[in-house]
Amino acid sequence: MKTKQLQLARALDLPTRQEMLNRDHSVQQFWASNDDLISDAWKEWEASEVDASTFTLDDSLLDKNLREAIQQAWENPSKEHLVKALLEEVAPDMFQFQFFDPERLTVLRGYLDQVWDSNIPMRPPYGIVLNRRGVMLDKRSEGYLAAPSFQTFYNEMLNTYMRPIARLLFPEITGYDTQTFGFSIYYDPSTDASIRPHTDASAVTLNINLNLPGEEFTGSELDFYDLVTGKVTQLSFKPGIAMIHRGSVAHAAKPITSGDRTNFVLWLFGDRGRLPAQGAQRPVIDATKRWTTPVTTPDGYAPF
């Protein structure tokens, strides 16, 4: 028999898509008034309905080479070159690397499928558009995915992996990377097929593909725009591949024409959304300062 909190959460009526797109006051009121209930429901759901032995979220899901290089750099920052060697510069200041082990993505995707089947209200991303099968990941966002094991995994991705890699590539973001933000996003031809050119309200963005090997799609390339030269760089995702770039780089997702694509999108920015100045000089920063976790408290600011 389901516990009371989980039953109550499942009985809630989620605000309509139109109400969310219109940012109706009733939407914010819904999340604020049900925050504790929904958080408790996630805890109960994970404890009672998720097989922890099958769906364990930890760094074993990540690419082995990346995991080992990151571990060595945390133990001895002078070895951070081992991390940098795994990062391919595919355009000026645009990098790709293998983040997840493609063969282990079945664990994460299986967990996320159960999340979608949980019938617990979740808030989809509605920054530029409302993505129907996306969800907010960060505690600063109302209606976020509050399952405890997921939150531990999410914060490890940001603090152990993303931040030091971002500081290594873009040293000027150091100090503008104290706060985190994240969401998932899903593209398919019949619903949310693309997203128009935009920049991110982040110092740096990490975009990680979650498609399994054999889950093919066509279209859905990312276009990156160099506003100085007018050049457009077009990149495509493969299972477990991550792209990392400054948030100020204009980019767009081309229409997906077959299949579907699922990604995590993770942001870092400074307290209260502060960002480094455009064209900021790259400071020389000692490696030991890169491999630290800021002692800071989430400030509650959410870009959307």
Reported as a pLDDT band with limits 50, 70 and 90, residue 1 is very low
Domain extent listing, the chain:
57-290
Q: Give me the pLDDT at residue 127, please.
A: 76
For 122, 133, 144, 234, 265, the CA distances from 184, given in Å and listed in that order, are 12, 8, 11, 21, 6
Lowest-confidence region among 8-22, 117-131, 159-173: 117-131
pLDDT for 88 equals 98
Q: Does domain 57-290 have CATH number 3.40.50.720?
A: no
- pLDDT (tens digit per residue) in 249-284: 999 999 999 999 999 999 999 999 999 998 888 999
| pLDDT for position 243 | 98
Q: Is the pLDDT of residue 47 over 50?
A: yes
pLDDT in tens, 85-103: 999 999 989 999 999 999 9
**Strands 195-198 vs 250-253: parallel, antiparallel or unpaired:** antiparallel
State the pLDDT confidence band at 130, using cuts at 50, 70 and 90: confident
Confidence at residue 2, expressed as pLDDT on a 0 to 100 scale: 54
**Strands of the 261-269 sheet, one edge to the other:** 88-91, 94-98, 241-246, 204-209, 261-269, 179-187
Can you count the helices (H) and strands (E) in the chain?
Answer: 9, 12
pTM given for the model: 0.95
Question: Mean pLDDT in the chain?
Answer: 95
Q: Are 237 and 263 in contact (CB under 8 A)?
A: yes
Q: Give the pLDDT score at 3.
A: 64
Torsion of CA 33, 35, 36, 41, to 10 degrees: 120
